[in-house]
Amino acid sequence: MAYINHEVVERQMTKRRTKNTVFKNLFLGATLLALLALVVLMYRMITQGAGYLSLDFLQNFSSRFPEKAGISAGLVGSLAMLAVVTPVSLFLGVGAAIYLEEYAKKNKVTTFIQMNISNLAGVPSIVFGLLGLTIFVRMLGMGKSILAAGLTMSLLILPVIIVAAQEAVRSVPGSLREASYGMGATKWQTIYKVVLPAAIPGILTGSILALSRAIGETAPLVVIGIPVIVQFLPDGILSEFTALPMLIFDWAKRPQEEFQYVAAAGILVLMMLLIFMNSIAVFIRNKFQNRY
Amino acid sequence: MVQAIVREEQQTKQEMKVLQNQPRENVYETNNLNLWYGDKHALKDINLNIQENNVTAIIGPSGCGKSTYLKTLNRMVELVPSVRTTGEINYRQRNILDKGYSVEELRTKVGMVFQKPNPFPKSIYDNIAYGPRIHGIKNKKVLDQIVEQSLRGAAIWDEVKDRLHDNAYGLSGGQQQRICIARCLAIEPDVILMDEPTSALDPISTLKVEELVQELKENYSIIIVTHNMQQAARISDKTAFFLNGEVIEFDATDKIFSNPSDKRTEDYVSGRFG
Amino acid sequence: MVVREKYEQELARVQQRLVDLCELAIHAFDRSVDVLLEKDAEKAWMLIEQDRFINRLEQHIQDDVLLIIAKQQPVATDLRRVMVLVKAASEMERIGDYAVSIAKETIRLGDAELVLPIEKIARMRVLAIKMLRDMLQAFITEDLMEAKVLAEMDDQIDELYGEALTELLAATHLQDGAESQLQQLSFVCKYIERAADHATNLAESLFYLVKGKHYAFD
């Protein structure tokens, strides 16, 4: 047993340690760079937009005059759209995930479906916009309504939710299912009483992140043709509306310099909404952390 | 003094009963059972009769099919895809391998305790009440009684009665396993299958579970798979030795551990397995 | 094949001790009859003195077996083997005790002339010693056939014992002062006969070890 020559090992030690340090600093640099970009962005938004944030800004409709421009129609529209997206995408997404994980036999068809779901998550959002325009707006005649936009957004985030929910369902240990089956529970009882309760924190965390993506998306709305200048609040699910990112997009396009600041203020509101939703996700994750 | 005499008399009566040797009924009769996992022939021509109110131990090296056989007894083995069986297993004179036999019904009569304690991430109370609830019992008072009775049956009531609504994950491994046994008792089974129930426990918890098994056999038929031969020798009445998917020897535990008939059994129980 | 090396080593050590014990005991027994025939009281005292080695060896074997059971938890044949080791050791220790008893009878007889016939005693001794020695060999090699043959030798010794007693009793009437010797010599005959019985017990133990069932050679 003399395969290891300790002298050689010692000689190479310095080189190995140097490499170790270099890589550690390289990765640290990558992290800092990403962080720096975020800080610069935040700094610009806050310095430019903070001045325009006010109660009036939240209550006013959009306007030709920067001082009078507000986001009320966009904020309410976005939240209304969320009210459509949440139930639709959760029901479809969790349902599909449970089917794929618990019921579907592991064969080629399932693998094919699985692959397509993963691919769908990578399809550009504008393609979903075109799909929504064709099916919901035109074929089903929903118009540029909250419902049409909400369904489009649901389709957009569905793959993400399915994958997240599958992950959560899969991470419920098999021993718990065995325990339930072992007592004579049916498959549905096992799913409903054991698997779902244990998977819910994971499902919710993933879903909320997906929902915040739905709120921030602009491209599908542009394609559907959601108007920008809306001088009323939506009064129903089929009502026309506008959304936060649409307003920001519109303001950012305008030539007057003041509108850049209005856009920044709009972005601040959107970001606060996102941060709020993400904190809920973090909260749920920490509170219901599973200990198997 | 008088008490001692009375006790002695009772004991003699009990011994007399044993001596009279009332024939025990078979809970399970396995006839020519064969089982395949895909192409792998995991159980070969198993013929075993398991008596009621007995502890039957199944021993054998890893991969000999003992766990597979146990899981066939409540058809849990079907959770593995591509399982195929031939032959029959009669539970109380009915073949459970018949397509018409409902697994849910079977598993209500045949409870199972697993290798690793696997309580649900719920309160102790909800863990025990799980079985009765899925079988439709909603009355709170009845559930309370079942929970207490089951926990007492598993000899853990005194340890947990003040924290029934705490999460079961807060208990020690040994306590969790006894919770799982209590959970199994709550469905009032006829047979309890135990798949290496103490392999994840410390020695003291192991002894507690073993004592419990001794008490439980008064009212239940217990089939236990174990890697621990001393355990099989301590707690079982009959022992089956499995090797490469076959039953090599099935006899009274005393016989298996003092004077087995088959050389392979002897080699295995005396730790010289080859 | 997993060989339990540590266990086999420990077992071999105890088995060697048993062999030592047997040889010591048989030797002491053989010597004790010599001493009786030679009426050598001094050597008799030595024999009595040396018995404590035999006793100590038996205790060692007991302790070793206790440790083996505690540490190795033998079952089936392994367990029977260690049990039989203890039993054989105690049989052999008894043979050592008979040697002591015969030595004591020698001392009691003192210098007095032996007036009774002792030719039968000498023959019994030869037979018993042969039986013990061969039995030890059969025991070590676990040779059941040989053990069975040897166990049947016990009948010859029993027969000789009967004859010896009759001879002694008959001679008592002819000789003066024979009564005092009669008791001592009949005891000696008894001890030799008993020693042969222990050899038979050894054969029974060996059968139990190998077959796992109790046999009796009567």
Please give, one letter per residue, the 3-state secondary structure of B26-37: EEEEEEEEEEEE
Q: What is the pLDDT of residue B2?
A: 59
Write down which chains contact chain B via at least 3 CB pairs under 8 A.
A, C
| Positive or negative: CA dihedral C102, C107, C108, C114 | positive
CB B101 within 8 Å of CB B74: no
One domain for residues A205 and A280: yes
pLDDT at A39 over 90: yes
Smallest Cα distance from A5 to chain B, Å: 39
| Chain C, nearest residue to B254 by Cα | C76
- Report, as an integer, the average pLDDT of B100-113: 93
pLDDT in tens, A183-219: 999 999 999 999 998 898 889 888 998 999 999 888 9
Alpha helices in chain C (DSSP H): 5-38, 41-72, 76-109, 119-141, 144-174, 178-211
Among A175-189, B113-127, B242-256, C165-179, name the one with the lowest average pLDDT.
Answer: C165-179
Residue A17 located in a structural domain? yes
Q: What is the pLDDT of residue B88?
A: 93
The length of chain C is: 218
- List the helix and strand counts (H, then E) for chain B: 11, 10
How many other CB atoms are there within 10 angstroms of residue B166's CB atom? 13
* Contact residues, chain A, for B112 at CB < 8 Å: 178, 182
pLDDT in tens, B129-177: 999 999 999 999 999 999 999 999 998 999 999 999 999 999 999 999 9
Strand order of the sheet with strand B40-51?
A: B40-51, B26-37, B83-91, B94-95
pLDDT at A179 over 60: yes
Q: What ipTM was reported for this prediction?
A: 0.86
3-state SS, residue B59: strand
Domains of chain C: 5-211 (1.20.58.220)
Residue A61 located in a structural domain? yes
Q: What is the pLDDT of residue C88?
A: 94
* Contact residues, chain C, for B260 at CB < 8 Å: 76
- Report, as an integer, the average pLDDT of A265-271: 91
State whether A183 and B79 contact (CB < 8 Å): no
Q: Which two tokens stand for residue C138?
A: 């059969």
Smallest Cα distance from A229 to chain B, Å: 52
Smallest CA-to-CA distance from B215 within B129, B156, B127 is with B156
Of A175, A181, A189, nearest to B116 by CB-CB distance is: A175
One domain for residues A36 and A121: no
- Strands B94-95 and B40-51, by their bridges, are unpaired
DSSP letter at A192 equals I
DSSP letter at B23 equals P
Of A176, A182, A292, nearest to B107 by CB-CB distance is: A182
How many Å separate Cα A199 from the centre of its chain?
19
Q: What is the pLDDT of residue A236?
A: 84
Range of the domain at A46: 6-52
φ, ψ dihedrals at B44, nearest 5°: -120, 115
Smallest Cα distance from C210 to chain B, Å: 10
3-state SS, residue A226: coil
DSSP letter at B251 equals E
One domain for residues A155 and A211: yes
| Chain B, nearest residue to C212 by Cα | B259
One domain for residues A33 and A106: no
Smallest Cα distance from B214 to chain C, Å: 22
Give, in order, the Cα–Cα distances in Å from A36 to each of A30, A33, A42, A43. Answer: 10, 5, 10, 10
CA dihedral B262, B268, B273, B274 (to 10 degrees): 30
Touch between chain A and chain B: 3 or more Cβ pairs under 8 Å: yes
Residue A1 located in a structural domain? no
Q: How far apart are alpha carbons A207 and A163 in whole angstroms? A: 10
Smallest CA-to-CA distance from C55 within C94, C27, C28, C88 is with C94
pLDDT at B76 over 90: yes
Domain spanning B25-269, CATH architecture:
3-Layer(aba) Sandwich (3.40)
Alpha helices in B33-155 (DSSP H): 66-73, 103-109, 124-134, 140-153
State whether B230 and C78 contact (CB < 8 Å): no
Winning range, highest mean pLDDT, from A26-35, B227-236, C148-157: A26-35
Q: Which two tokens stand for residue B238?
A: 């009959």
* Contact residues, chain B, for C79 at CB < 8 Å: 258
pLDDT in tens, A116-151: 998 998 899 999 999 999 999 999 988 889 999 999
Q: What is the pLDDT of residue C145?
A: 92
Substitution target in B234, B257, B261, B272 with the highest count of C β-carbons within 10 Å is B272
* Contact residues, chain B, for A292 at CB < 8 Å: 121
A261: Cβ–Cβ under 8 A, 6 or more apart, which residues? A48, A49, A51, A52, A66
Residue A267 located in a structural domain? yes
| Positive or negative: CA dihedral B18, B19, B24, B29 | positive
Domain-terminating residue out of A36, A52, A68: A52
Q: Residue type at A106?
A: K
- The rounded mean pLDDT for chain B is 90
| H helix or E strand, kind and range, residue B91 | strand B83-91
Q: What is the pLDDT of residue B6?
A: 61
* Contact residues, chain B, for C80 at CB < 8 Å: 258-259
Of B230, B258, B272, nearest to C73 by CB-CB distance is: B230
One domain for residues A101 and A233: yes
* Contact residues, chain B, for A173 at CB < 8 Å: 118
How many other CB atoms are there within 10 angstroms of residue B64's CB atom? 22
Q: Provide, for chain A, the percentages of residues in helix, strand and coil under a 3-state DSSP scheme, each rounded to the nearest 5.
A: 75, 0, 25
Touch between chain C and chain B: 3 or more Cβ pairs under 8 Å: yes
Among A40-49, A75-84, A279-288, name the one with the lowest average pLDDT.
Answer: A279-288
Q: How far apart are alpha carbons A34 and B176 in whole angstroms? A: 46
Q: What is the pLDDT of residue B183?
A: 95
Does B71 touch chain A if contact means CB atoms closer than 8 Å?
A: no
pLDDT tens string, chain C, 218 residues long: the values are 567 888 889 999 999 999 999 999 999 999 999 998 888 889 999 999 999 999 999 999 999 999 999 888 898 889 999 999 999 999 999 999 999 999 999 998 887 777 777 888 889 999 999 999 999 999 989 999 999 998 889 999 999 999 999 988 888 777 777 777 888 889 999 999 999 999 999 999 999 999 888 888 86
Tally of domains in chain A:
2
One domain for residues A10 and A116: no
| Positive or negative: CA dihedral C33, C37, C41, C46 | negative
| Chain B, nearest residue to C1 by Cα | B274
Residue A202 located in a structural domain? yes
Q: How far apart are alpha carbons B254 and B233 in whole angstroms? A: 7
State whether B112 and A182 contact (CB < 8 Å): yes
% chain B with pLDDT above 70: 91
Touch between chain A and chain C: 3 or more Cβ pairs under 8 Å: no
One domain for residues A35 and A154: no
One domain for residues A39 and A78: no
Q: What is the pLDDT of residue A4?
A: 86
Greater confidence, B211 or C1? B211
Q: What is the pLDDT of residue A82?
A: 93
Write down which chains contact chain A via at least 3 CB pairs under 8 A.
B
Q: What is the pLDDT of residue C61?
A: 95
Smallest Cα distance from A186 to chain B, Å: 7
- Residues of A near B (Cβ–Cβ under 8 Å) read 105-106, 173, 175-186, 189, 193-194, 197-198, 290-292
